[in-house]
Structure formats: structure tokens, C-alpha cells
Amino acid sequence: MTSSPRTSTRKTSTVRPARETAVDLPEEELDAAAAQELEAEGHYITAELDGEDLRIVPPGAWRPSWQTALARGEFAFFAEQVIHPDDLDVYFDIDPTNDQFEAFVAEAARRSGESLGKSRGPAASSRRTRRR
């Protein structure tokens, strides 16, 4: 019997193209991830931050890496990902406190009809079973 050697094809690093280059490609040449990115970029809701209305991507469209940055307190990176590019200067001029930022994100979730909290999991059965 002859066994064939297995080779690993894992990538060791990831290089991400700039967002602007994906926009210049014809739609039929876009891969699924780029098409999803373009779709997400056009979808914004408005939430108030320190009296200013800012456009933000709804929480359901946030990527896990963005949520990880938010959980780590990397607010500047997170803001650059989810706030509309035309509103970023206003965001950075406001320089919100943690409480203001939390209220802003909560309002965005409320306006989009999505919860930021963890899932409660399945409900307990309403029917009790009796052991014999």
C-alpha cells in the first residue's frame, strides 16, 4: 500500500484589501465577503450622541471582530468600523465619555429593534413531569 503525504495549506497571515478597492470592482467580480461588506456599508440607522445625530451600522450587521474591539474598550477602532465616514469627525470632536458611548450604542440597538444583551437561552418547559 502506498500512502500519500498530507500537506497543510493553512494561511499564516491575512492581508485585507482596502474597502475602497472593493467598491471599484464590477459586482460579478466580487466575492461573497466583499458583496456582504458593500451591502452592510449602505445600511445605517441614526442614533443621538451628545445632542448630535450620527449614522451607525445596526448591531445585527456588526462583525465579531468589531464586537471584540468594543468589549476590549477599543472605542476608536470600533467607531471607525460602525459610524458613517461622514460622521466620524463629529464623533471624534465630541470625544464621548464611556457612559455617553454606552448610551449611544444602546440607542442604536433600540432603534434597530435588536438587543445587545446575551441570549437568555431556551425557556424552561411549562409542563412538569412526574417521576415514578
pLDDT tens column, 86-118: 999 999 999 999 899 989 989 988 888 866 655
Name the H helices within 10-113. Answer: 19-24, 32-41, 64-71, 75-82, 88-94, 98-112
The answer to whether the predicted template modeling score (pTM) of the entire model surpasses 0.85 is no
What is the pLDDT, as a whole number, of residue 29? Answer: 45
Q: Are 112 and 59 in contact (CB under 8 A)?
A: yes
- From residue 38, alpha-carbon distances to 26, 33, 34, 43, 72 in Å are 12, 9, 6, 9, 26
What pLDDT does residue 43 have? 83
- The pLDDT value given to residue 13: 45
- What tens digit of pLDDT does each residue of 3-61 get? 555 554 544 444 444 443 333 434 444 455 554 554 455 689 999 999 999 999 998 89
**Residue 113: per-residue pLDDT:** 80
Residue with cell 468589531: 66
Q: What is the pLDDT of residue 20?
A: 39
Q: Are 20 and 70 in contact (CB under 8 A)?
A: no
Return the pLDDT at 35: 44
Q: Looking at the DSSP assignment, which residues form a beta bridge with residue 83?
A: 56
